[in-house]
Amino acid sequence: MNIRVFYTFLVILTVSLSSCFELLEIVTLSEDGSGSAKIVLNMSRSRTQLNEVTKKDSIGSIKIPSQENVLKALSHATDTLSTITGISNAKYNANFEDYIFTMTVDFDSPEKLNTAYNILLSGNKHLRDLFIYAYNSNFYSRTINSNAINKLKQHKTLLSLYGIDKGRFTTIVKTKTEITNISNPKTRLATSHKSVLNQVTIEELINTNKLNQLKLNFE
C-alpha cells in the first residue's frame, strides 16, 4: 500500500465536484530554522456531492479506493516520512465525514521538506520538486516548481471545466523573527510582523508567474 492510493482518491473526489476546495499549508519557524509543517486538504464545502461519489465502486475505469485503503496509504506515508533524517513526529488525520485530511511533521530545517515531498511524490515525474524550500538567518522561501505550473497550464481548459482552477492554496508562515520584506503581492503581513497569510487560486498560479514564490526577509 502506498501514497498513490491516496492521490487516486483525491483526484477522483476533486474532478467529481464543481465546488471549491482549499489546500492549506501552515509552517511555524523557530529562530534556528527548525519548526513544524501542517498540510490540510479541506473539501468540506462539497460534502454532499462527495458522499454520493464515495458510494460508487468506480468512476469510469478508475476504482475508488476504500476508506480502509486510504488510511493504509496515509499510514504508509507517515511511516516513510519518519525514516527521513531531519523529519520527526509525522502524523496524519483523516476526517471522512467532512472530507478534511491533515498531515503534520516537525523538521530540523525547511530544506528537509524538500526531501519529504520528493520521496512522497517520487511516483509522478511532474510533481518532483513540487515545492522548493530554502532558509537562512536572512530569509525563508518556498517556490512552486515551474514544471508543475507548466503542466497545469497544459490542462487549463480541463481544470476550468471541472472547477479545479477555483481551488485555493493558502499558506500561513509563523516566525520568531520580525519579517521586514515580502516578495509575493498576494501576501498579507500581520501587525506583529511575525506571521504572513498568502492565498491564491490555482487559476492565479497558472496566469501569474510571480505568484509561485513566497519569500520572506528577516531583520
pLDDT digits (tens, 9 = 90+) for 68-111: 888 888 898 899 999 999 999 999 999 999 989 999 999 999 99
How many structural domains comprise the chain? 1
Inside any domain, residue 6? no
In a domain, 73, yes or no: no
Examine residue 36 and state whether it is found in any structural domain, yes or no: yes
Give a yes or no: residue 30 inside a domain.
Answer: yes
76 belongs to a structural domain? no
Q: CA 188, CA 138: separation in Å to the nearest integer?
A: 19
- Residue 195 carries which side chain, given as an amino acid letter? S
Q: Tell me, yes or no, whether 79 lies in a domain.
A: no
- Whole-prediction pTM value? 0.86
Cβ atoms < 10 Å from Cβ of 63: 13
Q: Which domain holds residue 35?
A: 19-45+93-218
What mean pLDDT is reported for the chain?
Answer: 84
Does residue 153 lie in a domain region? yes
Work out the percent of the chain whose per-residue pLDDT is above 90: 45
Q: Is residue 11 part of a domain?
A: no
